[in-house]
Structure 1
Amino acid sequence: MEKQLIISVGREFGSGGHEVAQKLADDYGIALYDHDLLKEIAAKKNLKSEDLEAYDELKWNRFLYRTVRGLNSSPEQNVANLQFDFLKEKAKSGESFVVVGRCSETILREYESMVSIFIRGDKPQKAERIMKYYNMNEKDALGFMKEKDKRRKQYHNRYCPIAWGDSRNYDLVVNSSRVGVDGCVEQVKHYIDLVRKYHK
């Protein structure tokens, strides 16, 4: 049986991190879990995916909700917990997969088969990617990038002890502006080969 491999991908908006994750999943022939995992959760729980997506990766306001007997009245936290539990179940089952975000580098840290990476980039190259992908001008792209990263940071830092983007939280941090998407994939695969070599 093939040894389990879990790849956790954190990324700055516009860095191409999602593309890196997709290429890794394709190269290893394993599943990719990103925001679409809510559809799988919804089907399993007999819920509407749109209802879950409405509260995905939102900032949780602790002053508006409370926890009683382990149950929280915050829909944002409940949706986050559903995703965390889903990923833990997949990991526990022995499945190999790539996961984008979802605090996965923290919630799956106990698994030796997990490799955590963070894809960052330089502002000009990230803005250029966003402008092209979303058909935006530079000013709008920079504002969009700032807002998306702010939202990711708030979400991550709500549930994780080490701040989003802090290199101590990841096995490997790669700058896509320096090596491109394919270069990031190459670096990650090389690192995984080394990890497997020294942890047989």
Structure 2
Amino acid sequence: MELKKQLIISIGREYGSGGHRIAEELAKRFGLTFYDYHMLGEIALDKKVDVKTLEKFDELPKIPFFSRTVKGYSNSPQENIANLQFDFLRKKADEGESFVIVGRCAETILKENPNLISFFVLGDMQDKIERTMQREGVSRGEAEELLARHDRKRKTYHNHYCKTKWGDSRGYDISINSSRLGLDGTADMMEEYIKMRLSL
């Protein structure tokens, strides 16, 4: 569909909930640029650094014992890379670009933008385990470990940079359980909500 005004869709998600796939589907339906961890490649190109260096510290909070900030400058690579991504998103938003962004604290970083619509996608544990087993080709026990590790990482990262807690429904326009309607049905519901917001 042709947009008459800027649209930014931010999607936070539990690991295995299908939030990433839903985000890709919404980007396709609305014809929007899609940003996830791959945006590090664009940042690396702009800053003339190796993208693998940035990826190593992506979505990690700084380690307080080994880092310090002097006159606004941090020696923490984790914090510096997080801020590079936050600045990247702010610049795209300020330039009027419409896009879908997965994670990266976008619902907080861009909350002052009136054209932001934010979602948090969660799911039933059984569905998340089965989806992870199928996608990653791992056992049930390994899937459970992946779920716990990735969600712990996302929660720690988000809560380090944001006042609102990761997954707290008060920090998003809508929190939705993808297990209720399935991934396509969840995307349909989110699409309808977005269209209603765009018509206001």
**Bigger CA drift: 179-188 or 100-109?**
179-188
Quote the Cα distance in structure 1 between the aligned partners of 2:29 and 2:103. Answer: 19
1:34 is matched with 36
**Displacement after TM superposition at 1:195 (Å):** 1.5
2:81 is matched with 79
Quote the Cα distance in structure 1 between the aligned partners of 2:65 and 2:92. Answer: 33
2:172 is matched with 170
TM norm structure 1: 0.97
1:133 is matched with 135
SS at 1:4's partner residue? coil
Quote the Cα distance in structure 2 between the aligned partners of 1:160 and 1:139. Answer: 31
**Bigger CA drift: 64-73 or 189-198?**
189-198
Alignment of 1:151-170 (within 5 A): 151-170=153-172
**Displacement after TM superposition at 1:59 (Å):** 2.8
Match of 1:98 among 88, 91, 100: 100
What letter corresponds to residue 171 of structure 2 in structure 1?
Answer: N
**Displacement after TM superposition at 1:154 (Å):** 0.2
Quote the Cα distance in structure 1 between the aligned partners of 2:129 and 2:89. Answer: 31
**Displacement after TM superposition at 1:143 (Å):** 1.0
Seq. identity, %: 48
Quote the Cα distance in structure 2 between the aligned partners of 1:133 and 1:143. Answer: 14
Alignment of 1:57-72 (within 5 A): 57-72=59-74
Q: Give deviations 1:114-170, integer Å, cap 9, x for gaps.
A: 000011000000000000001111111011100100000000000000100000000
2:196 is matched with 194
What letter corresponds to residue 22 of structure 1 in structure 2?
Answer: E
1:6 is matched with 8
**Displacement after TM superposition at 1:72 (Å):** 0.3
**Displacement after TM superposition at 1:109 (Å):** 0.2
**Displacement after TM superposition at 1:196 (Å):** 2.1
Structure 2 residue runs of 5 or longer lacking an equivalent are none
SS at 2:6's partner residue? coil
TM norm structure 2: 0.97
What letter corresponds to residue 134 of structure 2 in structure 1?
Answer: K
Report the RMSD for the aligned CA atoms in angstroms.
0.9
Structure 1 residue runs of 5 or longer lacking an equivalent are none
Quote the Cα distance in structure 2 between the aligned partners of 1:48 and 1:6. Answer: 28
SS at 1:119's partner residue? strand
Moved over 4 A (4+): none
Give the number of equivalent residue pairs. Answer: 198
What letter corresponds to residue 150 of structure 1 in structure 2?
Answer: R
Q: Give deviations 1:19-70, integer Å, cap 9, x for gaps.
A: 0000000111110000000000000111110000000011322222111111
Match of 2:27 among 25, 28, 45: 25
**Displacement after TM superposition at 1:2 (Å):** 2.6
Quote the Cα distance in structure 1 between the aligned partners of 2:4 and 2:69. Answer: 41
1:114 is matched with 116
**Bigger CA drift: 175-184 or 54-63?**
54-63
Quote the Cα distance in structure 2 between the aligned partners of 1:6 and 1:197. Answer: 15
